[in-house]
Amino acid sequence: MSKVFVLGHKNPDTDSICSAIAYTHLKKELGMDAEAIRLGEANNETLFALEHFKAQNPRLVKRASDEVKQVILVDHNERQQSIDDIDEVRVIEVIDHHRIANFETTDPLYFRAEPVGCTATILLKLYKEHAVEVPADIAGLMLSAIISDSLLFKSPTCTDQDIQAAKELAEIAGVDSQEYGLALLKAGADLSNKTLEDLISLDSKEFEAGDHRFEVAQVNAIDVAEVLERQAELEVLISNTVAAKGLDLFVFAVTDILNNNSEAIVLGRRSDIIESAFESSVVNNRVILPGVVSRKKQIVPVITEALS
C-alpha cells in the first residue's frame, strides 16, 4: 500500500495537529505507511505541547495529490476546511467530532464521528479497540488536544468521555492535568508575537448555511480588552476578508480563558442576525457573549439556525 497522509483542518489547532500525529502512530503500528502532515502553521499552544513532549512538528503540505493517492482526515470533514486538492485524492477514513457537512464519497469508507469534545478522545478508543499501547509522548499530545478543545474541561463541548480519557492519558504521560493544562492554555493565549492578520486567520473556519457563507475566527486570551483595543485596525482587515471571500458574515471572537466568556467583533451584510440570535446587543460592531467559549457548540449552530 502506498503512503497515506493523515491531516487535520486548515488553520490547525492543537487537536488537528496532535490527533494527526497520534492517529498516524496507530496506523503505523497497524502496518500502514502513514505520515502526519499539517495545512498551516502550528500555534503557540501546539508548539508548547510538541516541545513539552519532545514531538516533531508535522511537515507543512499544501497539496496532497502530488505525493499520495489516499488521505485520512482527522478533526474535520467539511471539504472547504481541508487540503485544497481534497477532490483529487481519495478519503479512506475520517475521525472527527464535528457536524457533518459538505462531505461526499463515491465509495464506502471508515467514518467515525462521535459527539465528544475532542478527536483525541475517539482516538483513545481506537487504540483500545486495536489493543495498541499509547506511548507516553503520544498520550501527552492527546491529552493536550483534549485540554485545548475543552478549555481545561470547562467548555460545554466537554463530555464525561473526554474527562475520563484525559485522566487515563495524563497517567500514561506522567503529568498533572490541571498544572500542565493551565501552562498549555497560557502558552496559547500569548499573543505577543501575533500580527492582527494572524489573530483573524490563525484559528478561523468557514461555514455554509443555506445560501450564506460565514467565517468564525477565535482567539484565546488572558486580557480580552487588550486584544479589542485595536478594533479599528481589526475591522479594516476583517472587512477586506469579507470582501475578498464574498462572505455574508464574519465573527471574530476573543475568549477569556480564565473567566470563560467571549466578546466578538461582527461584520458583514448579515451581521443583523447577531442581536436576536444571541439575545445580546450589538454596540459599535461589538457583542458580549457571556459563558460562550465554544465555536462549535455555542456559535456556529446559533448562526446556522439564524441564517437558514
The dihedrals phi and psi of 113, each to the nearest 5 degrees, come to -115, 135
CB of 56 to a second copy, least distance (A): 30
The dihedrals phi and psi of 102, each to the nearest 5 degrees, come to 50, 40
Q: 9 among the known binding-site residues?
A: yes
Nearest to 22 by CA among 170, 177, 139, 136: 139
Q: 149 among the known binding-site residues?
A: yes
What is the contact surface with a second copy in residues (CB under 8 A)?
A: 97-115, 129, 296-297, 301, 304-305
Nearest to 237 by CA among 273, 271, 195: 195
Radius of gyration of the chain (CA): 19
Q: 13 among the known binding-site residues?
A: yes
Nearest residue (CB) to a second copy, 227 versus 249: 249
Nearest residue (CB) to a second copy, 114 versus 235: 114
CB of 170 to a second copy, least distance (A): 23
CB of 241 to a second copy, least distance (A): 24
Q: 15 among the known binding-site residues?
A: yes
How far is it, in rounded angstroms, from Cα 206 to Cα 81? Answer: 7
Nearest residue (CB) to a second copy, 44 versus 304: 304
CB of 94 to a second copy, least distance (A): 9
How far is it, in rounded angstroms, from Cα 191 to Cα 26? Answer: 33
Q: 75 among the known binding-site residues?
A: yes
Nearest residue (CB) to a second copy, 148 versus 241: 148
Q: 211 among the known binding-site residues?
A: no
How far is it, in rounded angstroms, from Cα 195 to Cα 239? Answer: 16
Nearest residue (CB) to a second copy, 16 versus 304: 304
CB of 114 to a second copy, least distance (A): 5
CB of 129 to a second copy, least distance (A): 7
Nearest residue (CB) to a second copy, 108 versus 179: 108
Q: Annotated binding residues for Mn(2+), as ranges?
A: 9, 13, 15, 75, 97, 149
Q: Annotated binding residues, as ranges?
A: 9, 13, 15, 75, 97, 149
